[in-house]
Chain A
Amino acid sequence: MTTVEKKSEGRVPAPRPEGEDGGPLLEVRDLHVEFHTRDGVAKAVNGVSYSVGAGETLAVLGESGSGKSVTAQAIMGILDMPPGRIPRGEVLFRGRDMLKMSAEERRRIRGRKIAMIFQDALSSLNPVLSVGYQLGEMFRVHEGLSRKEARAKAIELMDRVRIPAAKERVGDYPHQFSGGMRQRIMIAMALALEPDLIIADEPTTALDVTVQAQVMDLLAELQREFNMGLILITHDLGVVADVADKIAVMYAGRIVETAPVRELYGSPAHPYTRGLLDSIPRLDRKGQELYAIKGLPPNLLKVPTGCPFNPRCPQAQDICRTDIPVLHDVAPGRGSACHFWKETIGD
């Protein structure tokens, strides 16, 4: 029962057909999303670019309202439009822009090639249908299997995500499962068609820590097994440090810093990242007073001019209030959207 676990370093992705140009599995380029509301236009995503390869884990870190979930919804094509709108940007899956595809084409990718896991398993599952039916539905709709075959597949999937007594429980309803078990069912559903990429939006936020550890472990193991790409959307700096290969930190709809996991924690190059890291209490030592980033995340209807972080930034200068910083190259694979990244990283 006790598993002593050491994560393997630098998983080598097995050779596998990549995009037509041999590029990453999924690449988001200069994506913009806005919402038209009664009070004005809320720019939820402002030129976000990131990419994830097969077998790679990208963590998208941000607080509520940072645009991390909206980006994921735009990738999946499950954004409510209207009020949402995508004025600019590309979402390349294996080199093909999904935003230009027909609804029919996208549907074929969604679920089969890219699957999503949501935070709240209870509200994402249909309460009046049995778990087995909902899992089996994937196979009936996408692969045209019979009810009986689909049921057998559902049991197999439940076994794979280690739900005990899958055979007896396949007819149970979502409310009969615990939170952790329901999240396993969500993972099973996402895995059903063996996708190339999984987008997990706060998959363990609603779970207790011991269950969170079980679920994250399962996810990492299945990712290795199938060499899937994983986009993990979270606000939990602990979870990110545990599983991510690289990180994109979002603030007010922009990526403010992007870096491999060790570099980001070791020497953050953006004051917001630094502030976040300093503001979390540590389990392994008793700290003094916590560093608190002053102020509040901005209202997306009136984002400050210049750098959106400038009213909260301890280093802000005049240029920060007028000019929006671009994502500067800090090192290979590292970027920081701060005018003073050199000073920040050097501190």
Chain B
Amino acid sequence: MRNLVKHFPLTQGVLFKRQIGAVKAVDGVSFDLYQGETLGIVGESGCGKSTVAKLLMTLETATAGEVFYKGEDITRLSGRALKAVRRNIQMVFQDPYTSLNPRMTVGDIIGEPFDIHPEVAPKGDRRRRVQELLDVVGLNPEYINRYPHQFSGGQRQRIGIARGLALNPEIIICDEPVSALDVSVQAQVVNLMEKLQDEFDLSYVFIAHDLSIVRHISDRVGVMYLGRFVEIGTDEQIYDHPTHPYTQALLSAVPVPDPEARDGRERIILAGDVPSPANPPSGCRFRTRCWKAQARCAEEVPLLAVPTRFAASASPAAHESACHFAEEKDVVHA
């Protein structure tokens, strides 16, 4: 750990080739992730957030663009070098029921990464390591010989997290890690993830559709729509001072668990559905559902940058937003 700040500038233009055309699942996404930080990525289904996760994991090959990890472009790596990088970037999946092999014991599941990277734990030491990991995620180390079906959803997610931690990674990519869990168990897992982050100085990329959880856990948040980031900033900038109309609509649609707020809160109800990523609208992709859209939005793609009107100000509204008509609007507080 020599560099205190790590930089992962990331630009991609991804086209999944299909015979009938191309689905632009992720189309020109850039962001940085620093050590010990949590970057939240929110967006609706089909916006490309899970594809971003797969690209970061190099599970999917980028059509264009780079992913830098400590200054090295991992999209061009292969063989041993790629294997070494992958050790440091691990993933926790959404569904704790299908992401664990039902025929393997918990010990085998958590220990499997050691088969691929034997340098992390020598053979004789593995059982002890696995028990340590079980303990770290709050499971009884004696459960090492049990099978996944003997555990509840929350416990299974802990097993998934233990597997993610096995190789002492620096980055963990979490794709909807708590959305399959009950409310009371969700809080346990979120707290565990925060504790582990402090303990091991982990960086998280936290992908979720639940905006409240993302606010809770993230230092910075990026909002995606149809394969692009529309707005990115600190949690306070995004939630309390959103400037992109899509972010505003998204936030206003989240029901707040407070019946006193239901009469006072303004609600932006978007018309229609998300357009197909195979044939996205020209210019700004959100314009077909946007109430501010003008002729310019169809012609000119808005860039993700600090809007010029806020550029000089020190206000929290001065963060990157891809809208020609960016305007601050608080939709969360009544």
Contacts and interface: CB of A to CB of B under 8 A. Distances in A.
Interface of A: 1-7, 9, 63-64, 164, 178-181, 208-214, 216-217, 235-242, 244, 261-262, 265-266, 275-277, 279-284, 286-287, 289-294, 296-297
Interface string B151-163: 0101100000000
A280 B269 contact: no
* Nearest 3 pairs of A and B residues by beta carbon: A238-B255, A281-B216, A279-B187
A292 to B, nearest CB: 4
Contacts of B254: 209, 238, 283
Contact of B253 (A209, A275, A280): A209
B190 interface: yes
Contacts of A209: 44, 209, 211, 250, 253-254
A214 B239 CA distance: 21
B184 A265 contact: no
B291 interface: yes
Given A3-B267, A9-B263, A280 B187 contact: yes
A63 B333 CA distance: 28
A213 B253 contact: yes
Given A238-B255, A241-B257, A296-B154, A291 B187 contact: yes
B194 interface: yes
Nearest to A245: B259
Contacts of B191: 289-290, 292
B184 A283 contact: no
A262 B259 contact: yes
Given A210-B249, A280-B257, A290 B182 contact: no
12 contacts: A3-B267, A6-B264, A208-B44, A210-B269, A238-B254, A240-B257, A241-B262, A262-B259, A282-B256, A292-B188, A293-B187, A296-B155
A4 B266 contact: yes
A242 B257 CA distance: 8
Given A209-B254, A289-B191, A279 B215 contact: no
Interface residues of B, number: 53
Question: Which of B183, B256, B266, B291 has the largest number of chain A CB atoms within 10 A?
Answer: B183
Contact of B216 (A1, A5, A261, A290): A290
B61 interface: no
Given A284-B332, A289-B191, A211 B259 contact: no
A210 B270 contact: yes
A289 B183 CA distance: 15
Contact of B268 (A3, A181, A236): A3
Contacts of A293: 184, 187-188
Given A241-B257, A262-B259, A283-B332, A208 B291 contact: no
Given A63-B184, A213-B253, A290-B190, A283 B212 contact: yes
Interface in B261-313: 261-264, 266-273, 289, 291
B140 interface: no
Nearest to B270: A210
B70 to A, nearest CB: 30
Contact of A239 (B44, B184, B255, B267): B255
A23 to B, nearest CB: 26
Given A1-B289, A238-B212, A289-B191, 11 more contacts: A1-B271, A2-B269, A209-B250, A210-B44, A241-B255, A242-B259, A242-B262, A265-B257, A265-B258, A280-B257, A283-B211
B186 interface: yes
B260 A214 contact: no
A238 B267 contact: no
Interface string B197-211: 000000000000101
Given A286-B215, A287-B216, A292 B257 contact: no
B236 A213 contact: no
Contacts of A216: 255
Interface in B108-141: none
B183 A217 contact: no
A241 B256 contact: yes
A266 B160 CA distance: 37
B185 interface: yes
B57 to A, nearest CB: 24
A164 B212 CA distance: 31
B190 A281 contact: yes
B231 interface: no
Interface string B9-20: 000000000000
A261 B257 contact: no
A159 to B, nearest CB: 16
A266 B183 CA distance: 19
B209 A281 contact: no
Contacts of B251: 283
Nearest to B190: A290
A283 B215 contact: yes
Interface string B172-185: 00000000001111
A84 B213 CA distance: 37
B45 A208 contact: yes
